[in-house]
Chains A and B, each alone.
Chain A
Amino acid sequence: MTAKPASLDLDKSRRRIDWASLAPLVTLLAIMVVFGFLATEFFSLGTISQTLKRGSVLAIVATGLTFVLLCAEIDLSVGTMALFSACVCGVIWAQPFAAGAREIQDQRKTALSLVDKRLSAERKLDAAIKERDALTDANDKQREQLEKTIRESTEVIDKATAAIDQAPASRTGAEFRSTAVAIAIPFLVALILGGVSGTLTVSSGLPSFIITLAMMYMANGLARFVTLSQKYDVPQFLKELGNAPLAKLNLFGRTLEIPQSAVLAAVVMLVAHVVLQHTRFGRYVYMIGGNRQAARLAGVRTERIVIGSLMICAVTAACGGMVNAGRLESVSLDQNADLLLEAVACVVLGGTSLFGGEGGIGRTAVGVFTFTILRVGLEATDPARLIKYSWLSQAWKQELLKMSWVTQFDLLRPFLLGIVLMLALVIHGRLVRKHHE
């Protein structure tokens, strides 16, 4: 008797489209459509490559942050944790034990630059030989000069060949070991610091907001101290990870570069997704965010789960920081300044609740795409060009092109980014509230 109306209700809810959970995806599509009209050559493989490359660091960091936000906690230290880990990596790489590896990589780098030099020398040699052979009359002075060029070029080629032959082509054991140490230690440091903030959060009973705020300053100070505000080199492995494409796909006659960092981000997200959806740890993360007291009264050791989440977050922050340093080919204190807030924006844009319990990695991926495409699209948008190709009369165009918002559009970009973010979040927030009523 009571079952009937209930099942009717169920059918109704199944038929109704759940706009609240679809909103992030709709936002993403809307942004893509708008930039399709506004931005220069938006729908191109180049845009895809650029989005993947720029979004990967953010994606890695946002993945860890998703765990923490699902627990209804927050980690404000991700930005400086990323910086500190990268700095640790750079400083370790500069230590004497890694000197051998550094030398090998320097040699390889020199060899690489010598390849170009040799190529130009060979061209020069060929040209000189051709010219000399073409000389018929006894113009001794010119011949002598050409002979000199040939001698010099040959010398350059020989030297370069010798250097290239000397440089190790494949990775050596020493290089591998040094790189592994330089990357493993920052991970370990981040793991410990994440554990410290987690332990203090659950033992002090203070909000993680406060504890990780303190950790944010600590990591920043440590980064300054270990680097002494100097710029440090990072292992070649990270540089390749940050810049080199893993694959070049030929699509419709153009090449699509898939960056290694994007593949790494995808793997990190996939693992995180599996952990959240299919392990007990992941389920407890959700339930702690849903109702911490209920989880505690059900016998879940909530403290351990919270500590674990903060540790995961610190480790992904370290990973993101090192990939970013690799992308920029060195590590210095000005990196990752906006990383924290951008990562939070991504997670929230995807629809993960700041109050815990709802969301997931898939949503974070949508959020990262939205945020990155928004930035890439805004950078590719040029109002002057749009005005030029518009149907306005020439006089109007002249007037518009002189206006300050057109000439100074670069300065307006962060403002527009903020406007779009605000709109998207407000609309989503309203939909969610409606959904719960």
Chain B
Amino acid sequence: MPDTAEPLPPLLDCRNIGVRFGGVIALHGVNFDIQPGEVHGLVGCNGAGKSTLMKVLAGAVPEYTGEIKIDGQLVRLHSPREALTQRIAMVYQELSGIGALTVAENLCLGRQPTRWGRIDWNRMNREAAASLAELDIQINVKRRLDSYPLVIRQMVEIARGLHSGARILILDEPTSALSLPEARRLFELIAKLKIRGVAMVFISHFIEDVLAICDRVTILRDGRRLQTKRSSELNRASILHQMVGEERESAADEKTEALLPAAGTTMPRLAVKNLRQGVRFQNITLDVKPGECLGLYGFVGAGHQELVHALAGAIPIDAGEITLDGHRMRTGDVPSAVSKGVVLVAADRAQTLARRASIAHNATLAHLKRTVGSWITGRKELRVCQPLLERVGCRPPNPKLRAGALSGGNQQKVVLAKWLLGPIHVLLLEEPTRGMDVHAKAEVMELVAQQKRNGAAIILATTEPELVLAHADRIVTFARGRITREFSGQRVTKQDLMHCAEESCSN
């Protein structure tokens, strides 16, 4: 085994790390170690436990079992502060720098050099410029952080970790929102840090990236470590194969492959041509037919989720056109889209549900005039909502209850119910089953299937390959804001999808 062949003692050694959230076991006794000056890749599907493991190291999950040794010393990481004193720094996927502050202020946040109790600005700027120059990052440290592109912000975040004296840097999906040249620039920085002896954990969906810059790779699946190997002994196919775990057929709800039907010849209900929105997505051309479910699959930041928002008019577009049944639609106008039956169920229920308002008020929000009329009374509203809630199977079916009191699945049913009161020609779904249990997932997707049978066109945008495999008739994969491939009338597997979701990076 390569592990035993390592001559150096590990810088960080985790033994038997276990984490459970309520009844769900997120990690089953995982072993994980990092050598000094090593880039260690961590890969796995959604929910495999990558983020949980790294949160343990960052001190964000204090209730873990097992032991962590740093330089052979047993440590307990109960808080992010303790992790920092152990010189472990995490660079999150979502940017955590403060855009309104200058680069220097961000770098020195929390430990600004002072002089007689006041911040010594000159020294701070000097120090910040010096520590960035060490990494060959030549930027003006006096400018605001948000005036720089994403990659620079990410590099500043890394420099900030180093400035605080970190020996272990955890990079969570650093390349998912970066363009190809930007990603290369980041890799150069990682190589430089490696030479300086900084150990790094690189978490990514992009297997090619992982293979390109990591010395060793650990593969996680369902909260267990499958193996840790030198990256030279691995290739992309073998990693994908292990991540997905084809041999396992017990979990019927998790489809790993599907046979897609051949595309019909009917006129498309909704057609999109050359749609572009800033850096989020470019050159998007696709269509969806009545009674068809089009799956859009990609990683976070691939642009497919923003696309469905744009189709619903929720965000404006820069170029391109959207046609519904051959008629051009107004873009960036939600009310007109709703009146034409193009409706969106967004992933974030903080955007779709007023939690403190009653279920009835939420359910009638979109089609108040159509269903209740101009004179609103509680009784009329109940008469509309009661059968509706029973139809969607909301439990409890009490329209007077606050929407926030419902479970996630039932909240989603209320969000869907809102649209059932009006015409649905195109149903746009963004992560419709996120965070739900198996039962609730099935119920929500059954409601969607009903609409499909009624002739609605469904567009399902998700980062979960199982979901599109189970429900889509046609699948389009996205990577970095572009369409990479369309699957139709053929057998498609989870590996195929994940392969295509990272394609543009390797090409």
Where the two chains meet, the residues of A that have a C-beta atom closer than 8 Å to any C-beta of B are 2-3, 6-7, 9-10, 277-280, 282-284, 286-287, 290-291, 293-301, 357-358, 436
Cα separation A10 to B397 with both chains bound (whole Å):
11
Cα separation A60 to B398 with both chains bound (whole Å):
36
Cα separation A261 to B366 with both chains bound (whole Å):
39
- Residues of A contacting B335 in the complex (Cβ-Cβ under 8 angstroms): 299-301
Q: CB within 8 A of A296: which of B334, B339, B361?
A: B334
Convert B365-393 into 0s and 1s, putting 1 for each residue whose CB lies closer than 8 angstroms to a CB of A. 11011000011110000000000000000
Minimum distance in angstroms from B389 CB to a CB of chain A: 12
Check A279–B375 contact: CB distance below 8 A. Answer: yes
| Residue among A3, A277, A280, A301 having the largest count of chain B Cβ atoms under 10 Å | A280
Minimum distance in angstroms from B27 CB to a CB of chain A: 29
- Residues of A contacting B356 in the complex (Cβ-Cβ under 8 angstroms): 290, 357-358, 436
**Interface 9-mer from B194-202, B347-355, B499-507:** B347-355
Check A283–B396 contact: CB distance below 8 A. Answer: no
Minimum distance in angstroms from A200 CB to a CB of chain B: 20
- Residues of A contacting B375 in the complex (Cβ-Cβ under 8 angstroms): 278-279
B338 sits at the interface (CB 8 A): yes
- Residues of B contacting A295 in the complex (Cβ-Cβ under 8 angstroms): 354, 365
Task: Count contacts between A and B, CB distance < 8 Å.
Answer: 85
Check A293–B351 contact: CB distance below 8 A. Answer: yes
Check A297–B401 contact: CB distance below 8 A. Answer: no
- Residues of B contacting A7 in the complex (Cβ-Cβ under 8 angstroms): 396
Check B365–A6 contact: CB distance below 8 A. Answer: no
Check A283–B350 contact: CB distance below 8 A. Answer: no
Cα separation A147 to B457 with both chains bound (whole Å):
107
Cα separation A287 to B352 with both chains bound (whole Å):
11
Cα separation A294 to B344 with both chains bound (whole Å):
11
- Residues of B contacting A297 in the complex (Cβ-Cβ under 8 angstroms): 312, 314, 334, 344, 346, 351-352
Task: Known pairs A280-B374, A298-B418; list 8 more (Cβ under 8 Å).
Answer: A9-B396, A283-B361, A283-B376, A290-B354, A293-B351, A294-B362, A299-B334, A300-B366
Interface size class of B (residues with CB under 8 A): 20 to 34
Cα separation A358 to B351 with both chains bound (whole Å):
18
Convert B405-425 into 0s and 1s, putting 1 for each residue whose CB lies closer than 8 angstroms to a CB of A. 000000000000010000000
Minimum distance in angstroms from B342 CB to a CB of chain A: 10
Task: Show 19 A/B contacts (Cβ-Cβ < 8 Å), sorted by A.
Answer: A3-B396, A10-B398, A10-B401, A280-B368, A280-B374, A282-B376, A283-B368, A287-B365, A293-B352, A294-B352, A294-B354, A296-B334, A297-B334, A298-B338, A298-B365, A298-B418, A300-B335, A357-B357, A358-B356
The residues in B between 297 and 352 inclusive whose CB is less than 8 angstroms from any CB of A are 312, 314, 334-335, 337-339, 344, 346, 350-352
- Residues of B contacting A436 in the complex (Cβ-Cβ under 8 angstroms): 356
Minimum distance in angstroms from A275 CB to a CB of chain B: 11
Check A291–B374 contact: CB distance below 8 A. Answer: no
Minimum distance in angstroms from B401 CB to a CB of chain A: 7
B395 sits at the interface (CB 8 A): yes
Check A279–B374 contact: CB distance below 8 A. Answer: yes
| Residue among B334, B346, B353 having the largest count of chain A Cβ atoms under 10 Å | B334
Minimum distance in angstroms from A146 CB to a CB of chain B: 76
- Residues of A contacting B369 in the complex (Cβ-Cβ under 8 angstroms): 280
Check A287–B377 contact: CB distance below 8 A. Answer: no
Check B365–A294 contact: CB distance below 8 A. Answer: yes
From known contacts A294-B354, A297-B351, A297-B352, infer whether A10 and B366 are also in contact, taking CB-CB under 8 Å: no
Cα separation A94 to B334 with both chains bound (whole Å):
50
In the complex, which residue of chain A has the Cβ closest to the Cβ of B346? A297
Check B314–A296 contact: CB distance below 8 A. Answer: yes
From known contacts A278-B376, A294-B365, infer whether A299 and B395 are also in contact, taking CB-CB under 8 Å: no
Minimum distance in angstroms from A437 CB to a CB of chain B: 11
Query: What are the 9 closest A-B residue pairs judged by CB atoms, nearest first?
Result: A290-B354, A299-B338, A291-B354, A6-B396, A298-B366, A290-B357, A299-B335, A293-B351, A298-B365
Minimum distance in angstroms from A45 CB to a CB of chain B: 37
In the complex, which residue of chain B has the Cβ closest to the Cβ of A353? B356
| Residue among B365, B366, B374 having the largest count of chain A Cβ atoms under 10 Å | B365
Cα separation A6 to B397 with both chains bound (whole Å):
10
Cα separation A141 to B395 with both chains bound (whole Å):
105
- Residues of B contacting A278 in the complex (Cβ-Cβ under 8 angstroms): 375-377
Cα separation A277 to B376 with both chains bound (whole Å):
7
In the complex, which residue of chain A has the Cβ closest to the Cβ of B357? A290
Check A294–B351 contact: CB distance below 8 A. Answer: yes
Check B366–A299 contact: CB distance below 8 A. Answer: yes
Cα separation A366 to B357 with both chains bound (whole Å):
22
Minimum distance in angstroms from A11 CB to a CB of chain B: 11
Minimum distance in angstroms from A9 CB to a CB of chain B: 8
Cα separation A299 to B365 with both chains bound (whole Å):
9
- Residues of B contacting A287 in the complex (Cβ-Cβ under 8 angstroms): 354, 357, 361-362, 365
Minimum distance in angstroms from B252 CB to a CB of chain A: 21
Cα separation A287 to B395 with both chains bound (whole Å):
22
Cα separation A356 to B63 with both chains bound (whole Å):
37
Cα separation A277 to B377 with both chains bound (whole Å):
8
Minimum distance in angstroms from B370 CB to a CB of chain A: 11
Check B395–A3 contact: CB distance below 8 A. Answer: yes
Minimum distance in angstroms from B47 CB to a CB of chain A: 24
- Residues of B contacting A277 in the complex (Cβ-Cβ under 8 angstroms): 376
- Residues of B contacting A299 in the complex (Cβ-Cβ under 8 angstroms): 334-335, 337-339, 366
Cα separation A342 to B433 with both chains bound (whole Å):
47
- Residues of B contacting A357 in the complex (Cβ-Cβ under 8 angstroms): 354, 356-357
- Residues of B contacting A298 in the complex (Cβ-Cβ under 8 angstroms): 334, 338, 365-366, 418
Minimum distance in angstroms from B464 CB to a CB of chain A: 22
Minimum distance in angstroms from B196 CB to a CB of chain A: 44
Cα separation A297 to B418 with both chains bound (whole Å):
11
Minimum distance in angstroms from B54 CB to a CB of chain A: 30
- Residues of A contacting B312 in the complex (Cβ-Cβ under 8 angstroms): 297
Minimum distance in angstroms from A319 CB to a CB of chain B: 25
Cα separation A295 to B365 with both chains bound (whole Å):
7
Cα separation A294 to B398 with both chains bound (whole Å):
21
